[in-house]
């Protein structure tokens, strides 16, 4: 590479200047060594020795400086390696000088102590020359407006990030202290920054030191630790930042530009995403994949992950064009030319049969569903037509056209359901198990809870309310839910698909249930506000069809581990399954097609004995209009009911 003359001259000029400075300090340290040796009264004979041998000493010093390139380093990055090179250079030149003076010239009058004093002084002077600018900069003597950061975690990550902050003040951070629970570190300093104590002293340190932000530098800390830190910081108006997780840190060293705001995802139990991808590639590569509900939250993420595994074709089916348009454009822009977008209705028998006949999918992921619980409580017939009828239509088409596998995306709301949506999903699970008994196609269901970022998720709603200044609305303070990151849920869903052998019901281990109130308070806290002070929380009461606590496994179900961590197989007691399931499902779909809401709920109760509806839809008689509203037989609606009857029933026992 050609270097411009001006640039080359500047580099040479800098090197000559630094080389001269080194030699000047070498001469000064030698004179100072004589001065110290003779208590500031140097005899004339020693002056003659100093003057006569100084050119030799400077020559040797210069020769030793050259191979170690002491004038080339950037002093802002001075570290132990630079100090080591400096020490070696001085030691070699001192040894050579002493050998020439003593054994070469035989000058025994030259004081031995001067060799040592001179070497030590020169080492201190040259080290100081390098370190002084860095100390000035890192001490904050230059630059203003730096953000004062309190760092939680005095481990390797914390130490590295402090060093980076001090090396790069232009990033605008100034570390003011560490918090660490290790009592052996308390009171000590790391890169000049004091460890103030453990988490129990966090509130006191914040009050005393007044940081502008808190950085959690604990990439491998347990989830409970992170949550407890957020809890302690709740009363303070401080942004909380963090570093990448441990898996990311293994890829590269910690740098300041890796600092990011702590997010709600950091407070969730995370599933392992480092499972071996090869089994998934063997499942998908070269296959014709159909994904229904491709424009939805789960469906679109399925499309993304499947596309990376090189299928022969990827048929993306959805009834709504907007979501499908977005994900298909994203995949095509990413170079996935095998994507086939199709607008269609899963309840249309003819359309589904034509689609299967044309594209012959070998693997089907059925993610299309109506999932909004309160809406489905108000529209139970539509819930059944789509979630039960649509699933049956697509499954029968897969059976008829001999697809290899059919994987149904189910929900935790199907367990001991109290909502029409949950009950309809439970019926679909039973339907697929029944169909799989006589089919060459492998049918399996995968059940999991809420995923962050999904359409209709509570998290985006909370964020909108926080942005608007509140209040954040919560149905019930006792509400608890399972949450998982959408990418990790889909990753495990794919692993469950490869485990399927026919008739299985899998469930994803979702970690611990999280209080929705805690979730809301954490979101407010992460946005830099104080809950109940800056942003109010209000409680509206449970919505139709909601349970306080969801479940992943029913009362008559047990789970077994599989070869994939976090994917469990559900063993069901089929004694409660109706003998004439197919007839009941036919009656259910007929009632839904007729718009008979009360009949739909009654048949759902017959098919799913654990279904305990919390709200019972009123049925508008054909000719009765508003006056013809009546409740399901045996259940009396309140006098002020208009479209839905809130029926207070004893809650069935629920497990967390």
3-state secondary structure of 334: coil
How many whole angstroms separate alpha carbon 499 and alpha carbon 442? 11
First to last CA, the chain: 66
Cβ contact 153:222 at 8 Å:
no
Cβ contact 615:644 at 8 Å:
yes
**Which runs of E-coded beta strand occur in 52-157?**
147-152
Give the chain's largest Cα–Cα span. 128
Q: Given the DSSP bridges, would you call strands 567-572 and 505-508 parallel, antiparallel or unpaired?
A: antiparallel
How many whole angstroms separate alpha carbon 292 and alpha carbon 409? 10
Answer whether the bond into residue 577 is a cis peptide, omega within 30°.
no
413 is catalytic: yes
Residue carrying the six token digits 């399901």: 632
How many whole angstroms separate alpha carbon 62 and alpha carbon 220? 48
Here the tokens at position 632 are 């399901």
Q: What is the DSSP string of 423-461?
A: HHHHHHHHHHHHHHTT-SSEEEEEEE-EEET-TT-HHHH
Here the tokens at position 40 are 């500031």
Pick the catalytic residue from 147, 231, 371, 413.
Answer: 413
Here the tokens at position 529 are 């506000």
Torsional class of 78: left (φ above 0), alpha (ψ -120 to 50), beta (otherwise): beta
Here the tokens at position 645 are 């009857």
Measuring CA to CA, which residue among 497, 489, 498, 513 is closest to residue 566?
489
Measuring CA to CA, which residue among 595, 593, 460, 472 is closest to residue 540?
472
How many whole angstroms separate alpha carbon 342 and alpha carbon 294? 9
How many whole angstroms separate alpha carbon 280 and alpha carbon 339? 19
Which residues have C-beta within 8 Å of that of residue 49, sequence separation ≥ 6? 107, 109, 110
How many whole angstroms separate alpha carbon 403 and alpha carbon 400? 8
Here the tokens at position 499 are 């485990």
How many whole angstroms separate alpha carbon 555 and alpha carbon 546? 19
The runs of H, that is alpha helices, within 216-320 are 223-232, 246-249, 278-284, 297-307
Distance from the Cα of residue 229 to its chain's centroid: 17
How many whole angstroms separate alpha carbon 342 and alpha carbon 292? 10
Residues with a known catalytic role: 413
């Amino acid at each position: 590479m050609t270097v411009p003359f001006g640039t080359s001259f500047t580099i040479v000029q800098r090197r000559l200047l630094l080389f001269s400075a080194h030699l000047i300090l070498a001469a000064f340290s030698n004179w100072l060594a004589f001065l110290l040796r003779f208590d500031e009264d140097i005899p004339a004979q020693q002056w003659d020795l100093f003057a006569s041998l100084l050119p030799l000493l400077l020559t040797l010093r210069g020769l030793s400086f050259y191979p170690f390139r002491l004038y080339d380093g950037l002093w802002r990055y001075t570290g132990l390696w630079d100090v080591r090179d400096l020490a070696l250079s001085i030691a070699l030149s001192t040894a050579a000088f002493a050998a020439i003076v003593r054994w070469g010239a035989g000058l025994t009058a030259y004081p031995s102590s001067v060799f040592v004093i001179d070497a030590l002084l020169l080492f201190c002077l040259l080290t100081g020359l390098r370190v002084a600018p860095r100390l000035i900069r890192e001490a904050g003597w230059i630059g203003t407006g730096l953000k004062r950061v309190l760092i939680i975690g005095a481990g390797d990550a914390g130490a590295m990030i402090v060093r980076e902050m001090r090396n790069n003040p232009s990033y605008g951070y100034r570390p003011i202290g560490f918090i660490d629970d290790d009592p052996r570190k308390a009171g000590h300093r790391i890169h000049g920054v004091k460890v103030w104590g453990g988490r129990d002293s966090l509130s006191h340190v914040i009050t005393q030191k007044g940081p502008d932000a808190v950085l959690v530098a604990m990439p491998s800390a347990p989830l409970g630790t992170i949550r407890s830190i957020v809890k302690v910081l709740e009363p303070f108006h401080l942004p909380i930042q963090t570093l990448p997780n441990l898996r990311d840190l293994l890829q590269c060293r910690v740098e300041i530009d890796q600092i990011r705001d702590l997010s709600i995802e950091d407070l969730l139990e995370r599933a392992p995403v480092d499972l071996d991808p090869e089994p998934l590639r063997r499942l998908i590569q070269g296959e014709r994949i159909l994904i229904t509900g491709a424009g939805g939250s789960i469906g679109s993420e399925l499309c993304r992950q499947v596309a990376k595994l090189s299928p022969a074709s990827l048929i993306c089916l959805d009834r709504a064009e907007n979501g499908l348009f977005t994900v298909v454009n994203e995949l095509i822009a990413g170079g996935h030319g095998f994507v086939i977008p199709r607008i269609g209705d899963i309840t249309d028998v003819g359309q589904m049969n034509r689609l299967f006949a044309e594209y012959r999918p070998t693997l089907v992921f059925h993610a299309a569903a109506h999932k909004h619980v309160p809406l489905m409580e108000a529209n139970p017939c539509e819930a059944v037509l789509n979630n039960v009828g649509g699933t049956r239509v697509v499954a029968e088409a897969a059976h008829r056209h001999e697809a290899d596998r059919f994987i149904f995306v189910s929900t935790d709301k199907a367990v001991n359901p109290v909502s029409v949506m949950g009950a309809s999903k439970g019926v679909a699970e039973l339907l697929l198990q029944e169909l799989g008994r006589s089919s060459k196609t492998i049918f399996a269901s995968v059940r999991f809870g809420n995923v962050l970022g999904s359409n209709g998720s509570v998290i985006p709603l909370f964020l909108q309310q926080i942005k608007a200044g509140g209040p954040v609305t919560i149905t019930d303070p006792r509400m608890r839910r399972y949450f998982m990151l959408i990418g990790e849920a889909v990753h495990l869903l794919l692993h469950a698909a490869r485990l399927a052998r026919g008739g299985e019901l899998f469930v994803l281990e979702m970690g611990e249930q999280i209080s929705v109130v805690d979730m809301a308070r954490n979101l407010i806290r992460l946005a830099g506000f104080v809950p109940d002070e800056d942003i109010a929380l209000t409680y509206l009461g449970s919505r139709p069809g909601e349970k306080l606590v969801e479940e992943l496994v029913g009362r008559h179900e047990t789970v077994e581990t599989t070869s994939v961590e976090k994917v469990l197989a559900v063993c069901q007691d089929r004694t409660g399954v109706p003998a004439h399931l197919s007839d009941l499902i036919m009656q259910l779909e007929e009632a839904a097609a007729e718009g008979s809401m009360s009949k739909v709920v009654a048949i759902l109760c017959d098919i799913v004995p654990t279904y305990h509806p919390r709200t019972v839809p009123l049925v508008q008689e054909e000719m009765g209009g508003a006056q013809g509203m009546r409740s399901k037989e045996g259940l009396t609606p309140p006098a002020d009911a208009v479209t839905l009857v809130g029926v207070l029933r004893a809650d069935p026992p629920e497990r967390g």
